[in-house]
Structure 1
Amino acid sequence: MDFDEFYSNFTITIALLIVTIIFLIILKKSKAPVVIVNWPPGPKPLPIIGNIHQLSSLPFRSFRDLAKQYGPIMHLRLGQVPTIVVSSPEIAKEMLKEHDPSFADRPQTIALKIMWYNYKDIAFSPYGNYWRQMRKICIVELLSAKMVRTFASIRNDEVTRLVKSIQMSGDQAINLTDSIFSLTSSITCRAAFGKVSKDNELLIKLLKEGMEMAGGFEIADLYPTSKVVNALSWGKWRLVMMRRKLDVIFDGIIDEHKVNLGKGKGNGEFGNEDLIDVLLRIKDGGELEFPIHNDNIKAVIFDMFSAGTDTSSTLIDWTMVELMRNPRVMEKAQAEVREVFKDGKITDEGEVQKLKYLKNVIREALRLHPPVPLLPRASREEHVIKGYTIPPKVKVLVNNWAMQRDPKYWTNPESFEPERFETNSKDFIGGDFEYLPFGTGRRMCPGMTFGLASVDFPIATLLYHFNWKLPGQMKPKDLDMIESPGITALRKDSLFVVPTPAAFTNTPICI
């Protein structure tokens, strides 16, 4: 036996020994007195691991399959964590509307705790007065319809830049997924923080890794009471190292804002205050019910960057993928865009509202590919739902992805058919519980208006200026439609396409 083989076998032996020790410790702790609860039905859990073995890397797909056997409200045990999975619009309505805010908390995960500064952000902070305070500030200063309209020139500038970069590619295939990520991150940075960070590529990398690890399926999330598991969790230490990189970037952004404010200059795109300026001002003003510090500001920075970048880029990417897979829909959408903008200009973003078919294309993309497939909630107090008891502090996952593909509510649910919305009045503003791409109730996405403004205009521009084909001999049916794991469901593979400038276009669309 050579040294390499000996070292490999030794490493495997040590790893198995550690796993065995952890197993015995958890087994000992799991012998606590059993509390009888009238849980919803669900598959029988195994000792220690519970129902983890029944999940794939894409839990929302596994949950849909299990729901066919155990019903629209299920109880599973994921490691130590009791979890309720809801796959019915009627039950979702009862929980998220009739008993909102009893189900308005968020489940905690190790990634959210570390990367979002111990839940000091908005999206993942516990429901309560602090959450209301920070949400109100961000809506007023960034996310309101009025503020979104003021960022129109930023969106136009970044989309024009995207068009020019694509034109420079010639007839070469481009990674449209990466280009879209860069577009939405730049729009978000300029609107919220005054300019694009010099560390934007690293921010995007940390965002993607953080979102992938934040789904609640890291080993430290599955055994939260085990100090041994937490101490030996490589994922936890990886997150700590990622957080240190975030600190360096965000501390630099905050310090730069402080310097400019000291000179009497706002850091906003137009010489005004941006969101960080506002947070720094009220931090020093002592006017808040819950005083904030640098970690609060950094948590909000990462919140705005992640929400403004990830969900918008995910939606644009899936929309373009579906258009590539459905040439008939692509042709119809392009014909509409080129007719409405036949003069080559958009005089204002109100013109985009004329694109009725494109709006339906985006709505259909949101139905088939909701950026957040599982709506994460946590119970704040005990409730009886459909005769079953849901104790307090229990994780609740509403399987939005499954409900939006349920044949009980949708005809041909697996097909991409934008025409369905010509006669279907369902909308995504939170009142139709079989269609909740932005959530509903108090925890509905507050950045919906901001995000959508960064979606329809870029797609319209891409369809106007270019014809698109897949590289080489690749056919639409060859596109893999599997999602990547994590809180958001970006397509696993990047979209590579070959753009050809439309013969009649010569100048970028402008506002």
Structure 2
Amino acid sequence: MAYFLAVYFTIFLACLISILFTNLYKSSRVKSHLPPAPFRLPIIGHLHLLSPILHQSFHKLSTRHGPVYQLFLGSTPCVVVSSPEAAKEFLKTHEHAFLDRPHNSLVKYFAYGGEGFIFARYGTYWKFMKKIIMSEVLNGKKLDLLSPVRHDEVNHFITYLSQKAKEGKCVQLQGQLMKLTSNILSRVCMSKRFSDEEDESKSFIKIITEIAETIGKFNLSDHIWFCKNLDLQGFGKFSKDVHCRYDALMEKILREHEVSRKHDAGEVKDLLSILLDIAEDESMEIKLTRENIKAFIRELLGAGTDTSAISIEWALAELINHPNIMKKAVEEIDRFVGKSRLLQESDIPNLPYLQAIVKETLRLHPSAPLILRSSTQDSSVCGYHIPANTTTFVNAWSLGRDPSHWENPLEFNPERFEGKQLDVRGQHFNFLPFGTGRRMCPGISLGLLTIHVTLGSMIQCFEWKAGENGNLANVDMEEGVGFTVPRANHLVCVPVARLDPIPLHE
């Protein structure tokens, strides 16, 4: 009996050892096919290698570890993609495995836990919301109907600059551009011009600015497991406060809309009215909640306000530092538009050099430098095993500076786009300022219209002297911390009128 027990035990032990070695072998094979990674420290992972400006840190690491490499942000597994060829593999060839966006504690507050559109999981609800955006808000016909709104806001902006020019006073452009873009979007979304009500304007613009600045910062509670329930950096408390202020403001606006829309049957509907109609329509495939509507509006306002404003600010800074390019752009506008009327949206197709300046600005200073995805399944990409639930960063900032695709990539040179069919709509993987594929930014057309017309009008109507006294020959080009790459030092200039009087839109 003892003999048989010994035999059975030996066989059992042999099987167990065999299974263990087989699993270890498989595990080692899978692990060997993971992307390369720098040396990793316990608990913090690779956090010691990163600076507050993530896309710059990722770019430096890619020069040592290749176009695809692995990082651990604390305990969060990540993959960083830094070449156009690899970006195409992740975002086109294997797009089906990278259609979600990663969630964190800030999304919980700022995006109502992903109840809106940008952070919603890919699926029926997300497709429904995208259909609303493209069919009801951002299609060509609706953009044309809302062109008077954009013209009116540009008039307000140019009038403000004209007054400053008469007084010889400087302008802090980031704040004024934020007012311009936020008012365009708030009128499109809610028929509301916040700067007509000073206290509410400050409150609203302050909320959008605070969210943009905070969402790009690193929160230890999301990545260090034992900090999960601790608010060491105060982000939790701050996020709750911002969320409560935004929610209270939106509730007030929602109640106003519920009353006023009963009397606005003949007018062009804004987004909020459209969403309220959909929420009340029992035949809709998706039942929208109040949280869905609030999150949707917040995301559209947040995504479009500072991105367009920052792009215009970077573009003007580059033109000030390159007076020969500024001169060529102004000459083009004078030649095709003249000096008797203000540049209009219909003029943009006739201003290829202005278009090239905007493209070159978006190449060097993409408003969304990191394209974030979360893998929904195990997959093999670029010869590497990418496990499910891996946060993927595609570094659009690196793609636009890749020396194998761009000659003298650090030089601001709009001429590189002249005569080339290189657009911004996600078809060229060395140039993805708005992303690509199904989760590409849906507001490209509105954003580009705003950037082109505003920048063009600014240089058509004014000369720009950098500095509070207008005595700086150049402005610095240092990047600040944030999700949308703000300038480290906001652009301050003295506008000097070129046209007198200013021919505003009628």
TM-score with structure 2 length normalisation?
0.89
Give the structure 1 partner of residue 295 of structure 2: 299
1:145/1:450 contact within 8 Å kept: no
The Cα of 1:313 is off from its aligned counterpart by 0.8
Q: Distance in 2 between matches of 1:228 and 1:453?
A: 43
User: 1:417-464 deviations in whole A, cap 9, x for unaligned?
Assistant: 000111443211111000000100011000101111111111111111
Q: Quick one: distance in 2 between partners of 1:228 and 1:121?
A: 24
Task: Tell me which residue corresponds to 2:4.
Answer: none
- Tell me which residue corresponds to 2:162: 167
Comparing 410-419 and 287-296, the one that deviates more: 287-296
How far apart are residue 259 of structure 1 and its match?
Answer: 1.0
| The one of 47, 53, 56 aligned to 1:58 | 53
Pick from 438, 457, 464 the counterpart of residue 461 of structure 1: 457
- 1:204 aligned partner: 205
Task: Identify the match of residue 370 of structure 2 among 354, 370, 374.
Answer: 374
Residue 74 of structure 2 corresponds to 79
Which residue number corresponds to residue 40 of structure 1? 35
2:196 paired with 1:195: no
Aligned match of 1:322: 318
The structure-2 alpha-carbon separation of the partners of 1:227 and 1:407, relative to structure 1 and needing over 3 Å to count, comes to closer
Counterpart position of 1:147: 142
Q: For 2:79, what is the secondary structure of its paired residue?
A: strand
Partner in structure 1 of residue 263 of structure 2: 264
Whether contact under 8 Å (2:102, 2:374) holds in the other structure is: yes
| Aligned-pair CA distance for 1:476 | 4.1
Q: Which residue of 2 aligns with 1:16?
A: none
Pairing of 1:35-434 with structure 2 (within 5 A): 37=31, 38-169=33-164, 170-197=167-194, 198=197, 199-215=200-216, 217-223=218-224, 225-226=225-226, 228-230=228-230, 234-261=234-261, 263-266=262-265, 271-345=267-341, 349-434=345-430
Moved more, 207-216 or 116-125: 207-216
SS in 1 for 2:425: coil
Aligned pair count reads 471
The secondary structure found in structure 2 opposite 1:75 is strand
> Which 5+ residue runs of structure 1 have no aligned equivalent?
1-33
Question: Aligned in 2, Cα 1:48/1:469: closer, same or farther, shift over 3 Å?
Answer: same
Give the whole-Å Cα distance in 2 for the aligned partners of 1:146 and 1:83.
41
Please give the root-mean-square deviation of Cα atoms over the aligned residues, in Å.
1.8
| Contact 1:461/1:509 (<8 A) preserved | no
Cα distance in 2 for partners of 1:174, 1:348 equals 23
Whole-Å separation in 1 of the counterparts to 2:79 and 2:171: 42
State the distance in 2 between where 1:322 and 1:343 align: 24
Task: State the shift of 1:85 in Å.
Answer: 0.2
Contact 2:83 2:402 in 1 (8 A): no
CA deviations on 1:55-78 (whole Å, 9 max, x unpaired) are: 111011011111100000010111
CA shift for structure 1 position 473: 6.8
Q: Distance in 2 between matches of 1:344 and 1:88?
A: 46
Asked if the contact 1:109/1:215 (under 8 Å) is kept, the reply is no
Percentage of matched positions with identical amino acids: 35
Please tell me whether the aligned partners of residues 470 and 494 of structure 2 are also in contact (alpha carbons under 8 angstroms). Answer: no
How far apart are residue 474 of structure 1 and its match?
4.5
**Does structure 2 conserve the Cα–Cα contact (< 8 Å) formed by 1:109 and 1:214?**
no
> Any conservation in 1 of the 2:307–2:484 contact (CA below 8 Å)?
yes
Where 1:455 maps in the other structure, the secondary structure is helix
2:11 counterpart residue number: none
Separation in 2 of the partners of 1:60 and 1:159? 32
1:450 is matched with 446
Distance 1:433 1:281 in 2: 39
User: C-alpha distance in 2, partners of 1:423/1:167?
Assistant: 35
Assess, with a 3 A threshold, how the Cα gap between structure 1 residues 228 and 312 changes in structure 2: closer, same or farther: closer
Distance 1:392 1:498, change over 3 A: same
Between the aligned partners of 2:226 and 2:279, the Cα distance in structure 1 is 37
Change over 3 Å in CA distance of 1:150–1:82 after alignment to 2: same
- TM-score between the two structures when normalised by the length of structure 1: 0.88
Counterpart residue number, 1:10 = none
Relative distance call for 1:457 and 1:348 in structure 2 (3 A) is closer
CA distance in 1 between counterparts of 2:287 and 2:223 reads 33
Aligned-pair CA distance for 1:165: 0.9
Matched-pair contact (CA < 8 Å) for 2:424–2:433: yes
1:179, distance to aligned residue in structure 2 (A): 1.1
Task: Provide structure 2 residue ranges, at least 5 long, that are not aligned to the other structure.
Answer: 1-26
Deviating more after overlay: 226-235 vs 55-64? 226-235
Give, in whole Å, the separation in 2 of the partners of 1:229 and 1:307.
Answer: 29
Instruction: Give the deviation of 1:484 after TM superposition.
Output: 2.2
| Superposed displacement of residue 355, structure 1 | 0.9
Asked if structure 2 preserves the Cα contact closer than 8 Å seen for 1:374 and 1:401, the reply is yes
Aligned-pair CA distance for 1:475: 3.1
Secondary structure at 1:419's aligned position in 2? helix
User: What's the CA shift for 1:265?
Assistant: 2.3
Spell out, residue by residue over 1:305-353, the C-alpha distance to the aligned partner (whole angstroms, 9 max, x if none).
1122121111111111111111111111111112222152258522222
- What's the secondary structure of 2:273's corresponding residue? helix
Q: CA deviation at 1:205?
A: 1.7
Instruction: Classify the secondary structure of the residue corresponding to 1:64.
Output: helix
SS at match of 2:97: coil
Whole-angstrom distance in 2 between the partners of 1:228 and 1:371: 30
Q: In the alignment, what sits opposite 2:19?
A: none
Query: In structure 2, do the counterparts of structure 1 residues 505 and 378 end up closer, same or farther at CA, with 3 Å as the change threshold?
Result: same
Q: After alignment, is 464-473 or 88-97 more displaced?
A: 464-473
Sort the Cα spacing of 1:360 and 1:228 in 2 relative to 1 into closer, same or farther, 3 A: closer
In structure 2, the residue corresponding to 1:396 is in which secondary structure? strand
The higher radius of gyration belongs to 2
Distance in 1, Cα, partners of 2:505 & 2:217: 43
Counterpart Cα distance in 2 of 1:177 and 1:339: 29
- Give the Å deviation of 1:213: 2.2
- Deviation per CA, 1:486-510: give whole Å up to 9, x if none: 22112121110011111x4313332
Task: Give the whole-Å Cα distance in 2 for the aligned partners of 1:113 and 1:216.
Answer: 15
